[in-house]
Amino acid sequence: MADDLEKRLLEKFPGAIEVLPPHRDLPSERTYRVSMGRIVDVCNYLKNDEKFNFLSDLCGVHYPDKDKKFEVVYHIFSIENKQRLRLKVAVGTGEKVPSVTGVWGTADWHERECFDLLGIEFSGHPNLKRILLPDDWEGHPLRKDYPLSGR
């Protein structure tokens, strides 16, 4: 089933999907890099056509030595098919990732947390503001360049 899904994804979104190697601890969970401009389309397709009805997590990662210094990682699950997928979007400094709150409501707080702790912005988010830290907090503490001694 996973190979069929992969084939459909690559056919439906040519040039927008890159197949990544499986995670060493989760070899059955497929991982794909998705171009930022197509993430909402891919997520809509996966939810509506492939029954990935649950966004279980969305998180950000900071890679200070890469050209695209950030990555947003989407962990999605098909309850009906008992299948998990991981999607990754590379994000450059100053780029805004299209929000998937219109696809999965659970993305609301996940995207806010990612913004709060890493500073990744999500365009089209209905209420993108800090969720864990005070409004006057300076910086984003999950960035690798954040001072270890705090602010």
pLDDT of residue 149: 75
- Residue 121 CA to residue 105 CA, distance in Å, equals 17
pLDDT by position in tens, the chain (length 151): 568 999 999 999 999 999 999 888 888 899 999 999 999 999 999 999 999 999 999 999 999 999 999 999 999 999 999 999 999 999 999 999 999 999 999 999 999 999 999 999 999 999 999 999 999 999 999 999 999 875 5
Helix, coil or strand: residue 38: helix
- Residue 5 CA to residue 21 CA, distance in Å, equals 16
pLDDT of residue 3: 84
pLDDT of residue 101: 99
The ranges assigned to domains in the chain are 2-123
CB proximity list for 22: less than 8 A, separation 6 or greater: 28, 29, 30, 31
**Residues 143, 126, 128, CA angle at the centre, nearest 5°?**
20
- Residue 45 CA to residue 18 CA, distance in Å, equals 16
- Which stretches of the chain are DSSP H helices? 2-12, 39-48, 107-118
How do strand 54-62 and strand 96-98 relate by DSSP bridges? unpaired
CATH number of 2-123, picked from 3.40.462.40, 1.20.1260.10, 3.30.460.80, 3.40.50.300: 3.30.460.80
pTM: 0.94
